Amino acid sequence: PEAHPPGAHDSPGRQRRHTLPASEFRCLSPEDAVSVFEIEREAFISVSGDCPLHLDEIRHFLTLCPELSLGWFEEGRLVAFIIGSLWDQDRLSQAALTLHEPRGTAVHIHVLAVHRTFRQQGKGSILMWRYLQYLRCLPCARRAVLMCEHFLVPFYEKCGFKALGPCQVTVGALAFTEMQHEVRGHAFMRRNSGC
């Protein structure tokens, strides 16, 4: 055993090794599904009365395509997330809500949600920016698509999305705008992007 000078075990360098990183971005796994659902349920039920994804659907996508998700963790706790899947049509349809099309080139962003205690801090915009940068490194991704309620269009426009018009998908009485962001996942464009 190595001898340490008095107080060596109390040094900040030694303590840091045992704490979780202050801020971490990583793909989600099925084990994160319950935390994801709790944040999503709280974020959406009060606004629209329903969740974009239910717990079994969250597990479904985190099992089939975890590489299309991104979670933001603060000291080990999930504070914000995005869940996506691949889609192979020009526009979203009802089937896009539950399918992952492995040969698709459009990443359908099903949900972006931020934990209530971390809202109004710009975390949603930062997470979306990180996600879009990450998608540029995926050979399959050519564009990102999503559907949102009309009051969210300005938020997504600030993130670089362009409105495609009314979405043909409806959920109950809710109507949505379909939006798209070019990802430009071609190899020649990825070469100098740090991927």
List the catalytic residues.
85, 99, 110, 112, 156
Q: Which tokens in the block code for residue 67?
A: 């590489």
Question: Which H or E run includes 181?
Answer: strand 177-182
Q: Which of 55, 73, 48, 50 is nearest to 149 (CA)?
A: 48
Q: Give dist(CA 134, CA 68) in Å, integer.
A: 9
Residue with tokens 């979670």, as numbered in its chain: 71
Sheet with 162-166, side-by-side order of all strands? 23-26, 69-74, 77-87, 106-114, 143-148, 177-182, 162-166
Per DSSP (E only), the strands in 20-172 are: 23-26, 69-74, 77-87, 106-114, 143-148, 162-166
